[in-house]
Chains A and B, each alone.
Chain A
Amino acid sequence: MKPLPHNLPSPHVRGVGPRGFPLRLQATEVRINPVEFNPDFVARMIPKVEWAALLEAADTLHLVEVPKGPIEGYEHDEKFLRQMHHVLLEVDVLEGTLQCPESGRLFPISRGIPNMLLSDEETET
């Protein structure tokens, strides 16, 4: 699971308010996959990034050299784009957890697949 989908999740546990997002990522096993650098693709992903979530993920994954936010003229800044490329596409969490900061609910990540299923009680509206 790459940090990007983690970027997207929202709290879907009923009874949990907006602060439930972002889910806190903890990883016990991470793999780095080299991926061909496509500056155009990365540049276009930048507006979709939820920075607070990404920075927190980068922190827990002990990733260095992660930009703190979009910089002026990032579309042409190769160094910036390469750093983003690395954190968005080359980091793969194989084992770990995603935690809802509000409810504390843990969602396991196993073999790269997060299990986001809720129990029946949790889905009760």
Chain B
Amino acid sequence: MSDVQEATKQLLDVNLHENWRANQVTESGPRSESEHLQVTIGATVPTGFEQTAADEVREKLGSSCKISKDRGKIYFDISVESLAQVHCLRSVDNLFVVVKEFKDYQFKETKEEVLKDFEELAGKLPWSDPLKVWKINTSFKKKKTKRKKINQNSGREKIDNGQGDKTDEKEDKKGFTNNTLDSHILDYYENPAIKEEISTLVGDDLASSKDEKDEKEETHPKVLKFRVTCNRAGEKHCFSSNEAARDFGGAVQDYFKWKADMTNFDVEVLLNIHDNEIVVGIALTEESLHRRNITHFGPTTLRSTLAYGMLRLCAPQPTDIIVDPMCGTGAIPIEGATEWSNCYHIAGDNNPLAVNRAANNISSLLTKSQIKEGKVSWSLPIDAVQWDICNLPLRTGSVDIIVTDMPFGKRMGSKKRNWNLYPACLREMSRVCKPGTGRAALLTQDKKCFTKALSGMGHVWRKVHTVWVNIGGLHAAVYLLKRTPQAFVHPSEQDGERTPWCKE
């Protein structure tokens, strides 16, 4: 961890001169100066899944992560060439490039002094490299027509089709670069609901695309528009986040001569204050990546980043059968089919509305894949079924992984209903789940009910891990369970006949 900090420190100590070349080692001849830039990227992830996200970063980018004390954030170093791949990470909600990090900031005594310090800070920060990164990052995205930002509230809300579709542009670009990192391709996604044609242009050769974009990009106008977002957490601060944002923002405006605009900005400067730790950054994502797969929302649609984290906890192996028996809009199986396409995913729900939404989301995904691939119709290893969680039409011991978001009993179902539902679910899930190797990741806010239901099932389920998460303000938990080697024996006499089929 300390070499990350060391590298970060070195990088951030670079002065503001444009000619940074002296500080960088380039092995080959003169190329675009931005190519070998090393930067620190910060990412916000669902609270509780910081380690899972760090694992994904190590796996896909080869970088090690620093997990911040400020929950839900991780930091890692990359070279700017890997920026496109960073956008392909599936466990992160938002990305930003770090301008400077203060591990132990000394706040002065009075509010006036503290705010004055923030004002003076603006002019002393090493903006140059992070801004280069921001520029390159912007060249990945097409300029957008004005539109409302969707509600960034994580987790559960009712969103109509129109707004939901907008985030898919991000998904498009992301999932897309995932598959075809080595060619220039034009991507079109038409949003029928809001009758808007959105296209994304992705270039792998950063140097050339950057030059091209410079001409056309609306984000290189004479004057950039910006805003400052301040997040403050801590007991001992004598100022509010608004005050900090205002004064820091004022100084930034003076320094760069940018125009302040709260809604239609080009640059979002982040001022994150957590006790004595301050991180100044520039946002690289404007809408959270977490709703990427879903075009048809339901009342309790899960964040894709959370779905990814839960699936990853189960360590899917090739050809595993992965089932979500209460899939709702299908967020989990869809994320699964996209990321673990060598597994088979089944999405099931008893509610016809939910199953239809899931099927629609699957179709949308297929359409996008179709467009990307350009040629033939394409299929994903995923199916939707309407079924009853307490009577699953699945063979005993045939499922490797179960991942689901259980009804909390708040927006869906009721606490009282959970007292009967949870034990029945756990029982049926233990039947279909493969003894010995099977595992389940179950999300619920009704922790009391779940714990009680689980306590009677020690012979089939063993709890190995609990991740505490925050879902739309509710304190929930993801329970990771392992299926014990014991074969399922149904209490009723008639099902004594089922066990002979238990194939091992």
**Segment with Cβ contacts to B, from A34-42, A57-65, A66-74:** A34-42
Given A35-B378, A41-B319, A111-B359, also A18-B393 (CB < 8 A): no
Given A17-B494, A18-B498, A113-B384, also A118-B391 (CB < 8 A): yes
Question: A45 to B346, alpha carbons, bound, how many Å?
Answer: 15
Determine the chain A residues whose CB is within 8 A of the CB of B385 once the complex forms: 1, 5, 113-116
Interface residues on A, range: 35 or more
Q: Is B376 an interface residue (CB 8 A)?
A: yes
Q: Which of A10, A41, A115 contacts B396 (CB 8 A)?
A: A10
Q: Is A123 an interface residue (CB 8 A)?
A: yes
Determine the chain B residues whose CB is within 8 A of the CB of A115 once the complex forms: 352, 385-387
Determine the chain B residues whose CB is within 8 A of the CB of A14 once the complex forms: 494
Q: Is A28 an interface residue (CB 8 A)?
A: no
Determine the chain B residues whose CB is within 8 A of the CB of A116 once the complex forms: 385-388, 391, 393
Given A5-B346, A17-B494, also A117-B394 (CB < 8 A): no
B358, closest chain A residue (CB): A113
Q: Is A102 an interface residue (CB 8 A)?
A: no
Determine the chain B residues whose CB is within 8 A of the CB of A33 once the complex forms: 377-379
Q: How far is the CB of A38 from chain B (nearest CB, A)?
A: 7
Please state if A12 and B494 are interface contacts (CB–CB under 8 Å). no
Please state if A18 and B501 are interface contacts (CB–CB under 8 Å). yes
Q: How far is the CB of B369 from chain A (nearest CB, A)?
A: 11
Please state if B318 and A9 are interface contacts (CB–CB under 8 Å). no
Among A21, A112, A116, A123, residue most surrounded by chain B Cβ atoms (within 10 Å): A116
Given A12-B391, A33-B377, also A5-B350 (CB < 8 A): no
Q: Is B452 an interface residue (CB 8 A)?
A: no
Please state if B494 and A90 are interface contacts (CB–CB under 8 Å). no
A41, closest chain B residue (CB): B342
Please state if A35 and B387 are interface contacts (CB–CB under 8 Å). no
Please state if A10 and B394 are interface contacts (CB–CB under 8 Å). yes
Within 8 A of B (CB), among A34-56: 34-36, 38, 40-41, 44-45, 48, 50
A14, closest chain B residue (CB): B494
Please state if B379 and A89 are interface contacts (CB–CB under 8 Å). yes
Q: Which of B350, B388, B394, B492 contacts A8 (CB 8 A)?
A: B394
Q: Is B190 an interface residue (CB 8 A)?
A: no
Q: How far is the CB of B382 from chain A (nearest CB, A)?
A: 9
Please state if A114 and B386 are interface contacts (CB–CB under 8 Å). yes
Determine the chain A residues whose CB is within 8 A of the CB of B342 once the complex forms: 38, 40-41
Q: Count B interface residues, CB 8 Å.
A: 36
Determine the chain A residues whose CB is within 8 A of the CB of B321 once the complex forms: 8, 48
Q: Is B60 an interface residue (CB 8 A)?
A: no
Q: How far is the CB of A85 from chain B (nearest CB, A)?
A: 11
Determine the chain A residues whose CB is within 8 A of the CB of B346 once the complex forms: 5, 8
Q: Is A2 an interface residue (CB 8 A)?
A: yes
Given A5-B383, A17-B497, A90-B379, also A40-B318 (CB < 8 A): yes
Within 8 A of A (CB), among B336-390: 342, 344, 346, 350, 352, 355-356, 359, 376-379, 381, 383-388, 390
Question: A92 to B388, alpha carbons, bound, how many Å?
Answer: 23
A2, closest chain B residue (CB): B383
Q: Is B398 an interface residue (CB 8 A)?
A: yes
Given A48-B319, A48-B321, also A10-B395 (CB < 8 A): yes
Q: Is B392 an interface residue (CB 8 A)?
A: yes
Q: How far is the CB of B229 from chain A (nearest CB, A)?
A: 43
Q: Is B234 an interface residue (CB 8 A)?
A: no
Please state if B379 and A118 are interface contacts (CB–CB under 8 Å). no
A93, closest chain B residue (CB): B383
Question: A107 to B321, alpha carbons, bound, how many Å?
Answer: 22
Q: Is B192 an interface residue (CB 8 A)?
A: no
Please state if A113 and B386 are interface contacts (CB–CB under 8 Å). yes
Q: Is B500 an interface residue (CB 8 A)?
A: yes
Please state if A12 and B500 are interface contacts (CB–CB under 8 Å). no
Among A5, A9, A17, A92, residue most surrounded by chain B Cβ atoms (within 10 Å): A5
Question: A38 to B279, alpha carbons, bound, how many Å?
Answer: 46
Question: A12 to B392, alpha carbons, bound, how many Å?
Answer: 7
Q: Which of B352, B384, B388, B501 contacts A112 (CB 8 A)?
A: B384
Q: How far is the CB of A84 from chain B (nearest CB, A)?
A: 13
Determine the chain A residues whose CB is within 8 A of the CB of B391 once the complex forms: 12, 116, 118, 123
Q: Is A4 an interface residue (CB 8 A)?
A: yes
Please state if A21 and B395 are interface contacts (CB–CB under 8 Å). yes
Q: Is A15 an interface residue (CB 8 A)?
A: yes
Given A8-B321, A35-B379, A89-B381, also A117-B388 (CB < 8 A): yes
Determine the chain B residues whose CB is within 8 A of the CB of A44 once the complex forms: 318-319
Determine the chain A residues whose CB is within 8 A of the CB of B390 once the complex forms: 123
Q: List 24 A-B contacts (CB under 8 A).
A: A4-B383, A5-B383, A5-B385, A9-B394, A10-B501, A12-B393, A17-B497, A18-B498, A33-B377, A33-B378, A35-B378, A38-B342, A44-B318, A89-B381, A107-B393, A112-B384, A113-B355, A113-B384, A113-B386, A114-B386, A115-B387, A116-B386, A116-B388, A117-B387
Given contacts A4-B344, A18-B500, A113-B359, 9 further A-B contacts (CB under 8 A): A1-B383, A10-B396, A44-B318, A45-B344, A50-B395, A113-B385, A116-B387, A117-B387, A123-B390
